[in-house]
Every structure is written in structure tokens, then in C-alpha cells.
Structure 1
Amino acid sequence: MNRTPPLSLTERRRLATQLEIARAAAELFTTHGTDATTAEAIAVRAGVALRTFYRYFRTKQDAVGPLLAVGGDRWRALLAGADPDAPLPDALRGAISEALAVPDEAAADGLRQARGLLRAAAGDPALRAVWYRVNQESEDRLRPVVAELMGAGARPLDVRLAAAAATDAIRIALETWAETDADVTGPDSPADLAVRCLRGLTGGAGGAG
């Protein structure tokens, strides 16, 4: 698989600033709600000028996009590193389980923050649209990873089905978990639900089943 060239210092700084703004937005959204949070408040919390905020994001809801995308970036990297000889369903389950695992308190806090954002999105169509857009972009980026694991003879339809099933398994699991008070680990945790969702979604999908 082709390696992505290393980012320049300027690009790394830009991404770091975006993520800092995203964390500030997520904290304010989950604490005060989207209606009571302004772009100005997010900029102040992130320690940047308002013009810097608008250089990167059109709306306050857009600001959480980079934070929501972090999990997808990590799990695609895990899948890309899976054993190429392993059956695809096993590779998908393994990568999803590891991506949603909670090895430390920082990972637990990340999931709890995602829960707060998803609860806020339930009452904010613009924030919900950002969540769906992030998932669609993740699915698009997942296709070449899945295609690589499936091999040169993989049919495009099977690749798309597998990528869609894996993305939807995580999305549905997180949305379902956010509606409950289940813990970050154990029964009905994000990892547990995602594996169950993947099993249900891939049960009849040709290349992914």
C-alpha cells in the first residue's frame, strides 16, 4: 500500500490548531449545548482569534469535524496494518475492537466526549450533518484499504459493501451507545456493540461475510 508522504511543519501546525479548536467546541457543546455556544466562545476557549476560527471552519458545528474524524483515522490505520492473509471479517472485527478499546483514561474520556456530542447532535440538525459527513468521508477513505485486503480480484461492489458495513457498524454502535448510560467497556460498550453490528451487517454481504 502506498505510504502517505510526511506532513510539513506548517501542515502539522494547521492540523494541531484545528484539533485544538475542535476540542474546545466539543467541550462547550457537551457542557452548554450548541444553542448556547457561540463561535466567539469556542475561539476564546481554544485560545485563538475569531478570524482564525473562521479561517478553518464555516460554522460552529463544523468545528468538531476534526475531532470526530480522529477515531476513523486510527481505525483505518489499524485495518491497514492487519494480517493480509486473515479473512476480511476477522480483520474488520479486530481493527474495530482495538480502535474502540479503552486502554487508559484518556481513551475513556474520548468516548465520553463523543457520547456528549452525539447527544447534542440529536437536537441539532447542523451538528448531525457534520457527523454524517465525517462518516461518509471515512467510508470513502476506507475503500482502498478494504480493496487492498480483499486482493486484486475483488469486485468494486464487494469493496463498497464491506467499507459501508464497517463504517455503519461503528456509527450505529456509537449512536446506540450514546442513547444509553452503558459503560465504555463491557456489555453494550461501543466495542461490544460495533462487533455485533458488524456481524449483523456483513452476514449476507458477499465479499465481507
Structure 2
Amino acid sequence: MIGSIEVCCFRLQQGQLQLLISQRKTEPFINQYALIGGGIAPQQDQHLDDTVNRCLQQKTQLQPHYLEQVSSQADPHRDPRGWSVCFLYLAVFRPQQKVHANCKWVNVYDLLNSPVKLAFDHKALVETALNRLLNKSQYSSLPVYFLGASFTLPELQQCFESILQTQLPKAAFRRRLNRPEIMLETGEKDHSQNRPAKLYAMAAPKQLYFFDQLMKGSPTKALT
């Protein structure tokens, strides 16, 4: 049986949710685009997370800001070579990170709505990971991982709204997010706008914060 990991790498760039894909150099599906992934190396990897980080470093030179296992898939049809099992991961990256020449960032919704095919069952895997991202962003601080090391409150709200494609009430949003468990003031300000804004940083970079209620707002456009 063939065993592998596949990683849905997401980032926000100018308000667009983007996915990282790479062009395959070997059969099957040579020259076709696919998710970032690779085989498990028992001599090197003590955990599946080790496999993910090794493959990301080798194929993209990127280190994820957030990483989560989403699901596992196994059947005799997803790979033309026979039975295979894959472990699907969701990874979040900060914007404006350069990658290898055979990789590219694409708008995830444009990809899913286009006739372009990804290798294996990767388009279905993208839908699975995207659903996890959207659902979890409604009840946790996950979108904060898309931001840089420091950010303003307007940038934080724009981040949530871009992912959820929902306009959120400003006062309610700030009451929910502006907590010491989630973020802390850095003591510095962003002077790029007419009115300087306080800069914040994540309080616990390796820990998600879960809300007791879902985010609610007005849809800005239909999710497709």
C-alpha cells in the first residue's frame, strides 16, 4: 500500500484566500498540478508532522504558521498504482512568502470553480480542507495565524471577513477578539495610515482560542 501526506497550504494575499499547488515531475500525472505532499520516510520521520514539515521544506522552503491534520483517505481508486492511504493536512502561511519555481499560489475558489483538474483526488481534498478552515474560523482564533507577527485591529477584522466572506459587526468582533488570551499590545503603533493604530501580537502562538458562540455577520458574497 502507498502511504503519503498531502497538505492544503493556505494564505491570504490582498484579501484573497489562496492555495499553493506544485507541478508534478514524475508519473503518474506528470506535469499536472497537485497539492504539496510526499511519502512517509520511516527512517527520518518519528511522527506524521515530521513528514509534513520535511516535505514542505524540500518542496516549498516554507514553514507553516499553523498546522493541523484534517482527515485520512484510503481506497484502491485514488491512485492508479493501486491501494493508497493519504493523511490530509491544513497549513496556514503568512502572506508574501516566496516558493520554489514549480509551485504557485492560486485563488482557491477560482481553482475549485474551474475545469482545471488536479492530480489524484486532490480537488476533493481541497474541498475537505477548505470546509475545515471555514468552519473552524467561525468558532476559533484560527484566522489570526494568517497575519504577520504584528497587526492592527482593523487588519484582524479584515482577515476574518476575507476568510468567512462575511461582514462582521465591529464592536461585537472587538469584544470577542480583544482578549489577553488571544492577543496582546506590542507597545508600538502602525503609522502607515492618517491615524496611528495600535499593534498587537498573538498571546500564545501555539494555542488556538475557542469561542462559545459562532461568528455572525452579513455575507459579502456567496461562497462558491
**In proportion to residue count, which structure has more helix?**
1
TM-score (norm 1): 0.29
The structure with the larger Rg is 2
TM-score (norm 2): 0.27
**In proportion to residue count, which structure has more strand?**
2
